[in-house]
Amino acid sequence: MFPMNQITKLTSIVTDSHASPTAAIIFLHGLGADGYDFVDIVTHMQLPSQLGIRFIFPHAPIRPVTLNNGYTMRAWYDIYSLNSLNKEDQEGLFQSEQAIILIIEELQAAGILTSRIILAGFSQGGAMALHVGLHYPQTLGGIVGLSTYLPLATHFKAEAAPANRHTPIFLAHGHYDNVLPYKLGETTRDILQKASYPVEWHGYPIAHESSAAEINDIGRWLQKILL
């Protein structure tokens, strides 16, 4: 746990599908993007307004990224290499984790139950969604990881929170992903399934991106979770 003065309060784009939302989806963008990257997903999923969802699209902090020669960009944590994930930025991961937990706590204060909060993300944002969701001490409504991987996988079994052992998880990956290979997604799926997590897995004929078919499948999954 980090002192509060070391935790960055994230700015976010917020949109409500209902005047009195009773559920929330926190969607975390990928490396170098920002919260606007997936705002259009709200319309494309065509979720019924009666679900009463608050969509939150946070902007990651700006930090130097070793992979990109130290260039500063929005990133949830530093990345040293995509060829080997043996060295990971634990401090950056944990700082972003605490910042995302602040958003969850704000939603709770607004009257939204954690069991109605979905953590979702793409690429590095998907890694954060998995990391936070699997370690969070209260039961969440669901976790969505798109074109991503499980960070700190060697610590996972010992540190995962019992509260989310039965939380539904939607994982998807592109067959032609040239940034995070499809095999990495399969490995994440296998780790979670071996630990008996309820994973719904999808592969799509796409690269490191989203597709209409993927978004439609997410929409159907969310309705199943939230209705």
Q: Where are the beta strands (DSSP E) in 75-161?
A: 117-122, 142-146
CB 172 within 8 A of CB 148: no
CB 35 within 8 A of CB 12: yes
Distance in angstroms (rounded) separating the CA atoms of residues 133 and 117 = 10
Selected catalytic residue, list 29, 173, 177, 210: 177
Segment (H or E) for 188: helix 182-194
Selected catalytic residue, list 123, 131, 147, 210: 123
Distance in angstroms (rounded) separating the CA atoms of residues 55 and 47 = 12
Q: Which residues contact 189 (CB under 8 A, 6 or more apart)?
A: 171, 199, 201
Selected catalytic residue, list 16, 59, 208, 211: 208
Is residue 12 annotated as part of the catalytic site, yes or no? Answer: no
> Which residue type, as a one-letter code, is found at position 200?
E
Phi, psi of 26 (to 5 degrees): -100, 115
Distance in angstroms (rounded) separating the CA atoms of residues 35 and 56 = 8
Is residue 131 annotated as part of the catalytic site, yes or no? Answer: no
Is residue 89 annotated as part of the catalytic site, yes or no? Answer: no
Q: Please list the active-site residues.
A: 123, 177, 208
